[in-house]
Amino acid sequence: MDKDSTILSLADLELPKLEAVLELMFLAAYSDGTVTPPERAVFRDHLTATTRGALSPETIDLMIEQIGTSLLEEGRERRLESIRKRLSDERLRMSALDIVIRVMRADDVVHPTESGFLLRAAAALEIPADVALERLRLSYATHG
């Protein structure tokens, strides 16, 4: 998986789609019950780079807080359904899945709960499980 081929330019997305990708990243980082410092760094660095600095750290923190509240109120499956509705384009969904993989691998450990989340996210995004697992495998082949 070539890193440059999966970079999603979040700066060009409409706000609902941007929020959906951000929410998916958060759900991936939190899928093992904690967000590690390396996951948080990948999360922030990716958002800063792909929005070309348009999102301040304060804005990112506010969005994360809102996502956390929505997750508590509605649950993970309803949030994934909402994400799917906002990410209607297949290419955008695939790029979002690649971002999930990048966040999950940030601390160099993919826990079983994270793998399970990857499969749930792929199903919610209407991406076949074998495609999601192959992209995860390729991320190891490409980035060690």
* pTM of the shown model: 0.80
The full set of domains in the chain, from first to last, is: 3-143 (1.10.3680.10)
User: Tokens 């060690």, residue?
Assistant: 144
Comparing C-alpha atoms, which of 50, 66, 95 is closest to residue 58?
66
Question: Rounded mean pLDDT of 80-90?
Answer: 93
Query: In Å, how far from its chain's centre is CA 67?
Result: 13
pLDDT tens, 26-38?
898 888 777 777 7
- Mean pLDDT value across the chain: 83
Q: Is the separation of the CB atoms in 97 and 138 below 8 Å?
A: no
pLDDT tens, 58-81?
787 788 788 888 888 999 899 999
Count of Cβ atoms closer than 10 Å to residue 100 Cβ? 26
The Cα–Cα gap between 104 and 101 comes to 5
